[in-house]
Structure 1
Amino acid sequence: MKKIMASIAVITISCSSKKTITTEDKGTGDTRTKTVELIDHSTYLLTEQSDDKTYGYNQSNPIKVGGVKTQEGPLNERRFLNALFGPSDKKMTYFRAGSCCPFKTPNGFINNSGMLDRYRLTEIGTKDTIDIYINMYDTGDLKIPFGLKAKEKE
């Protein structure tokens, strides 16, 4: 009976608000403390600026979007990247430059291991590129990387 009630609660929550994403089961690999909101299905609403200059730019401090357990890891990566704007308030283009940097995670598929995804971003109208490292295995609070901006809710 408890499982049925919990399932009904999850269904009710997920149907009542299409603009929020509940975090995955709290557990090892999950440090998220804030609910994630969406601007639309493919874009996160990012409101907090990171003051850590390594956040996302360094493989030892990747952006933890999670989603691997629910098969939404790549979608969560794109939701994060779609929210970013460059320092001049222009939209960013991006492409996945590959996987790198193996690491231990309880959410990994093989031997508790995962790989980071590295994306190359360019602000429209410039030739400058930056690399962003994203972890789709673990979840953490999502912030705007230092020096970048984010799309605002309309």
Structure 2
Amino acid sequence: MIDHQTFELLEISDDPTYGYSEKNPIQVGGVDNQSGPLNERRFLNALAGPNGEEVVYFRSGSCCPIKSKNDPLGFGQVMLDNYRLAWKGSNDTVSIYINMYDYGSLKAPKGFTIKKLNISK
């Protein structure tokens, strides 16, 4: 992590479905330690637009039931969260699917860049 509100992303995915498809959601995890929604925001806070623009986002809702062994209710099925993202100069919002139940390797989705942070020590 860069700080309490931002994950450190090191690469951009070359998979055009990563994050853009409910079949290939971004796996931020965190439900197991009550930080699922915070992990979603930490991930989103690390993104920048295609040319480094500041990204704004909102959660548009839950959708898309998927199987997960990490279902806290024990049914084996959970819902993804769908976020809409935009940046200055974008013509429309972009839809991203996030899984806060399972952990995976975090990358910026194709078409995004990684936010540059000024960290003074």
Matched, 1:135 2:99: yes
User: Unaligned regions of 5+ residues in structure 2, if any?
Assistant: none
Paired residues of 1:73 and 1:136 also in contact (CA < 8 A) = yes
Matched, 1:96 2:66: no
Choose which of 98, 102, 114 in structure 2 pairs with 1:150: 114
Choose which of 31, 37, 45 in structure 2 pairs with 1:68: 31
- 2:83 aligns with 119
Paired residues of 1:45 and 1:152 also in contact (CA < 8 A) = no
* Paired letter, 1:83: A
Matched, 1:43 2:6: yes
The answer to which structure, 1 or 2, has the higher relative contact order (CA under 8 A, 6+ apart) is 2
Please report how far the alpha carbon of residue 119 of structure 1 lies from its aligned counterpart in structure 2 after TM superposition.
0.0
Please report how far the alpha carbon of residue 70 of structure 1 lies from its aligned counterpart in structure 2 after TM superposition.
0.2
TM-score by length of 1: 0.73
> What is the identity percentage for the equivalent residue pairs of Structure 1 and Structure 2?
57
TM-score by length of 2: 0.92
Supply the distance in 2 between the matched residues of 1:80 and 1:126 (Cα, whole angstroms): 20
Any idea what SS the aligned residue of 2:41 has?
A: helix
Paired residues of 1:45 and 1:151 also in contact (CA < 8 A) = no
Question: Could you say which structure has the larger radius of gyration?
Answer: 1
Please report how far the alpha carbon of residue 153 of structure 1 lies from its aligned counterpart in structure 2 after TM superposition.
4.3
Paired residues of 1:45 and 1:153 also in contact (CA < 8 A) = no
Q: CA RMSD in A?
A: 1.1
Supply the distance in 2 between the matched residues of 1:64 and 1:93 (Cα, whole angstroms): 20
* Paired letter, 1:74: P
